[in-house]
Amino acid sequence: MRKYNFVVILMPVSLLLSSCILYNDNTTNKNDSSDEHSVARLWNEALLSAIRLDFARPTVHARNLFHTSAAMYDAWAVFDDVADTYILGKTVNGFSCSFTGISLPAVTTPSQEKAISYAAYRVLTHRFQDSPAAADSQANFDQLMSDLGYDTDIISTNYSNGSAAALGNYIAECMIDYGLQDGANEENGYAIQSYTPVNPPLTPTEAGNPDIVDMNRWQPLAFDEFIDQSGNVIGAATPEFVGPEWGQVAPFALSDSDNDLVINERDDFDYWVYHDPGAPPYIDTDNGGSLTEEYQWNFSVVLAWAAHLDPLDGVIWDISPAAIGNNQGLPQTRSEYETFYDRMSGGDSSTGHSINPHTGEAYAPNLVPRGDYTRVLAEFWADGPDSETPPGHWYVILNYVNDQPELEKRFRGQGSVLSNLEWDIKAYFALGGAMQDSAVTAWGIKGWYDYIRPISAIRAMADLGQSSDPAQPNYHVAGLPLIDDLIELVQPGDSLAGASNENVYKLKVKAWRGPDYIPDPSSFIAGVSWILVENWWPYQRPSFVTPPFAGYVSGHSTYSRAAAEVLTRLTGDAYFPGGMGEFEAPQDNFLVFELGPSVDVTLQWATYRDASDQCSLSRIWGGIHPPADDMPGRLMGEQIGIDAFNLAEQYFGE
């Protein structure tokens, strides 16, 4: 069985050129060979590198990935006999980009590559001009143009003489102008236009959540030093909600023609919601009820899975595709949730795969401590620090897939083998459309429902008390449920009781102990033990804690399921090339939040959906989402990915 090393490329993009055939307008066309990177791939790597150096804004970077991919696609498609352009010569979401045509050369590839490069260069130069690392990113863009043999001083957009460079510049100009009116508020730095949080900030370093006003709404966090998910040091801050009005951003394949768009009004602002899943479970702090019980169950799952983050607890799991993956369906109701998610032991009801269909052999066992698996999972799929954000992470996975020798680059797995350039152009365009629509959908829902995150909900419930038994101390109908050996009351004589018994009958939980127990992340682990619930932390850095936007629905789940659907259709195979994809996390040389893993851990996925499902579960172990955030994201992501791919395919003329 072939083993793959999933490598995130952090080196300067120009170093990839050693394996790339270069073209200019005077060279002859050559067929790509399997070990050559296309010019589209080089620009995609340049974009991913710039994203890692920018602020961690999943919405903004989903848009950057799509717009850059679309610009490159048009620069390729205009020279193709079959493909139709996206924005060039079209009216898209009310924006028109006129085009009078261009003479096609006898050999098209050099012109395609030049137009692609100028289009990508101009879009990226514009989009990252205000990045915190703008100089570094611009130097990378300039170096790539130089290595490709292109002159950045060519700024003309007059393509009438057949200049591929001018055409690329013109396509970029259209895309840039389109972006300035697409609803993202780019001209004002993507600033919030109307949204205001209803809750005052929570300071995570202080116990409990005493100031929360509404336990169903998002709550900002206040930091002495905030470091975003890309590693940018912001300093003392209360980060604003990122993208609460993103539902109004122009999508790719989303449409209101089938009544799938709902426009809601709050505070004189219209919140656009596609694929509306309905409201999340709400808590009624006065009367309880079934929705309150559903709320309590969801956040108790997050607490229970926080007990799975200790590599020394003696629990060993087989994390191979033989044991994990291959979900046969996704739950729709709470009763189905309780069967699907294993609250106490962790994971889901997937049964694994009996054989690798590409080799005809069984998948070999992969035994590791559960606490290593869960921690690696939480950090790998968190996409940070040095994050390309979730949509960018799926471009990294796509590039990894594209590099595997077992992959035959046949569209939908059929027909002739495509050149690396055509394959990359089509793949990036389809995936970009899915990532754009995932951002518009998930953040439209986040902005409208404005739902609470686990750290706020769990601490607020802990402040109320326990909800299981009115006859026991510290009862409140909207508190946390008591669960033996997981969530209990502090009793007199308990080590957590306090010097003056000030903590007696407060709630305690057996969970990851948090950053206070990690004096040096390169040398220590926090481990799992009993702590006061009022001091509970997600498995995250203390300078980050949880993403600065509402929880419902999970962006990771939406992006990942949409991407999995695109990759499945693009390759014509549900499975990774060769039947398995892998990522290796070496012993004591991968985790950032604390030391670890304690052994070498290799994440493995048979199918793209398996990888997507694993990503979704990682956010529960990371303390970022309850199941109520996860599953609607998966369900809508599936439809988003299918719709985006189908629309992209129409442009390809396949």
The predicted pLDDT at position 236 comes to 76
Report the share of the chain in percent with pLDDT over 90: 89
Collapsing DSSP to helix, strand or coil, 33 comes out as: coil
Residues 6+ apart with CB under 8 A from 627: 298, 301, 337, 340, 341, 620
Average pLDDT of the chain, as a whole number: 93
Q: What is the dihedral of CA 385, 196, 284, 347, to 10 degrees?
A: -20
Backbone phi, then psi, for 366, in 5-degree steps? -140, 90
pLDDT of residue 10: 37
When mean pLDDT is compared across 35-39, 100-104, 538-542, the lowest value belongs to 35-39
Q: Quick check: 73 and 425 in contact, CB under 8 A? A: yes
Is residue 286 within 8 A of residue 464, CB to CB? The reply is no
Mean pLDDT of 626-652: 98
Alpha-carbon distance values, 335 to 5, 290, 343 (Å): 39, 12, 13
pLDDT tier, 94 (very low <50, low <70, confident <90, very high otherwise):
very high
Confidence of residue 25 (pLDDT cuts 50, 70, 90): very low
**Residues 6 or more apart in contact with residue 345 via CB below 8 angstroms:** none
Establish how many alpha carbons lie within 13 A of residue 505's alpha carbon, considering only the half-sphere containing its beta carbon: 10
**Residue 596 has what pLDDT?**
98
Q: What is the mean pLDDT of residues 149-157?
A: 98
What confidence category does residue 19 fall into, taking pLDDT thresholds of 50, 70 and 90?
very low
Please report the pLDDT score of residue 2 as a whole number: 30
How do residues 75-86 score in pLDDT, each as one tens digit?
999 999 999 999
- Give me 8's structure tokens: 């995130």
pLDDT grade for 257, boundaries at 50, 70 and 90: confident
Instruction: Give residue 18's pLDDT.
Output: 38
How many Å apart are CA 120 and CA 425, to the nearest integer?
A: 12
Output the pLDDT for position 384. 56
Residue 5 reports pLDDT greater than 70: no
Q: Provide mean pLDDT across the span 521-533.
A: 98
Q: Within 13 Å of residue 587, how many CA atoms lie on the same side as its CB? A: 6
- Sign of the four-CA dihedral 272, 639, 61, 72: negative
- Measure Cα distances from 193 to 48, 196, 243 in Å: 28, 9, 10
Mean per-residue pLDDT, 261-284: 97
Is the predicted pLDDT of residue 14 greater than 70, yes or no?
no
Annotate 412-442 with DSSP letters as a single string: GG-SSPPPHHHHHHHHHHHHHHHHHHHHHHH
* β-pair partners for 530: 510
The reported pLDDT for the residue numbered 240 is 96
Helix (H) or strand (E) holding 91: strand 91-92
Helix (H), strand (E) at residue 507: strand 507-512
Predicted local confidence at residue 258, as pLDDT: 63
* Residues in a beta bridge with 92: 95
Helix (H, G, I), strand (E, B) or coil at 363: coil
Distances (CA, A) of 431 to 41, 322, 419, 573: 14, 28, 18, 16
pLDDT digits (tens, 9 = 90+) for 327-386: 999 998 878 999 999 999 999 999 999 999 999 999 999 999 999 999 999 999 997 556
Spatial distance between the Cα atoms of 349 and 613, rounded to a whole number of angstroms: 11
Digit-coded pLDDT (tens) for 485-512: 999 999 999 999 999 999 999 999 999 9
Angle 608-613-617 (CA atoms, 0-180°, nearest 5)? 150
pLDDT for 483 equals 98
- Residue 13: which pLDDT band, with cuts at 50, 70 and 90? very low
- Does the pLDDT of residue 253 top 70, yes or no? yes
**Lowest mean pLDDT segment, chosen from 9-23, 124-138, 162-176, 559-573:** 9-23
Name the E strands within 282-419: 316-318, 367-369
Q: Determine the length of the chain.
A: 654
Shortest CA distance to 473 belongs to which of 509, 508, 507, 505? Answer: 505
Q: Once rounded to an integer, what is the mean pLDDT over residues 140-156?
A: 98
pLDDT over threshold 90, residue 456: yes
What is the distance between the alpha carbons of residues 327 and 609, in angstroms, rounded to a whole number?
9
d(CA 350, CA 348) in angstroms, rounded, equals 6
| Beta carbons within 8 Å of 533's beta carbon, 6+ residues apart | 303, 458, 459, 461, 462, 480, 487, 506, 507, 508, 509
Burial category of 207 from C-beta neighbours within 10 Å (exposed 0-12, middle 13-18, buried 19 and up):
middle
Q: Which helix or strand (DSSP H or E) is residue 395 part of? A: helix 389-402
Residue 370: both structure tokens together: 């559960």
Helices (H), strands (E): how many in the chain?
A: 14, 13
Amino acid at residue number 180: L
